[in-house]
Amino acid sequence: MNLENISFREIHFGMPEYAESLVLRDLVLREPLGLEFYAEDIATEYTSIHLGVFNHTFLIGVLVIKPIDESSAKVRQVAMHPDYQNQGLGSKLSTTAESVCKQRGYTFIELHARKTAVEFYKKQGYDIEGSEFEEVGIPHYKMTKHLS
């Protein structure tokens, strides 16, 4: 993969790239679990920050940052196209999200990591808080990180 063709940028709610991000999130996160997006799920995302990973103009990854309060945000709906997984782009997307959070004044990030992604987030400096719980029918852990 040629990394000079890869870019990270904000996706604006309601724009064509946002629609593409919903398709990608559905493919990676929802379809394997037999789930689908509902209008009420999408309607709450206008206040969130949407980040995309692009190979030229093709959207290959997405991450959503939902503000919680003035100092905290929640990372959610992280998806990388299957053809681009395990190539380090998820780590770069996570780092980009942290930079965006810092720029916007957030000092604390939380997320609900699928059990299969816990080691990935540990490598990114996140800590597990609490016990395993079920969300969308699969095991998750709450993970947190203080931004310096």
pLDDT for 1: 58
Q: How many domains does the chain have?
A: 1
Task: Give the closest residue to 49 by CA, choosing from 63, 61, 59, 39.
Answer: 63
Residue 13's CB is within 10 A of a number of other CB atoms, namely: 15
Give the model confidence (pLDDT) of 84-127 as tens digits.
999 999 999 999 999 999 999 999 999 999 999 999 999 999 99
Which residues have a Cβ under 8 Å from the Cβ of 98 and sit 6 or more positions away? Answer: 109, 145, 147
Q: How many CB atoms lie within 10 A of CB 48?
A: 16
Place of tokens 């992604």: 117
Residue percentage of the chain with pLDDT more than 70:
97
Rounded to an integer, the average pLDDT of 22-46 is 84
Check pLDDT > 90 for residue 142.
yes
Query: DSSP characters for 60-74?
Result: EEEEEEEE-SSSEEE
How confident is the model at residue 30, as a pLDDT?
Answer: 87
Predicted confidence (pLDDT) per residue in 49-64, tens digit = 999 999 998 999 999 9
Q: Is 133 helix (H, G, I), strand (E, B) or coil?
A: strand
CATH number for the domain harbouring residue 25: 3.40.630.30
Amino acid at 141: Y
The whole domain housing 28 covers 3-146
* Mean pLDDT within 119-144: 95
CA contacts within 13 A on the Cβ side of 74:
11
Task: Give the Cα-Cα-Cα angle 89, 30, 16 (nearest 5 degrees).
Answer: 65
